[in-house]
Amino acid sequence: MKYIYPVCIYPGDVSGYTVIVPDLPGCITEGETIADALEQAVDAASGWVLDELEEGRKAPNASAAESIKADEYENGMVSVIMLDIDAYAEKYGSKAVRKNCTIPAWLNTAAEKAHLNFSQILQNALQERLNLS
């Protein structure tokens, strides 16, 4: 899923830029350059939207960019950012993903008799193999 949201960019008093995403309440970030600030805005907004989706809510509809006025602070500008929520979720999502795998019947029987948690064993093995533990 991809979303496009308008953003308001404001230069700092001394340096840097602040970015506000009006359609995502409380979604505010900063960066040293405009490019950095927009990159940070994509990250912050992606996290904001992913949280909503993982909680079973819909992502807010985006306002039309031309309807957004960056006049809250001096020298404000309006731009848009694009969020690739699928890519972001793959990298940072906490939602569990169902995987189907096949093992020999005798191994399944032995593991069930031992009351083993297949999901936990697979997670541990993957983390160890990937040096993530």
pLDDT at position 133 over 70: no
User: What tens digit of pLDDT does each residue of 87-123 get?
Assistant: 998 888 776 667 788 889 999 899 999 999 988 899 8
Q: Does pTM top 0.85 for this prediction?
A: no
Residue given tokens 């040293």 in the structure block = 32
Q: What is the CATH number of domain 2-92?
A: 3.30.160.250
Residues 6+ apart with CB under 8 A from 46: 83, 84, 85, 88, 92
- 43 burial type by CB count under 10 A (0-12 exposed, 13-18 middle, 19+ buried): middle
Residue spans per domain, the chain? 2-92, 96-133
Find the mean pLDDT for residues 49-60: 92
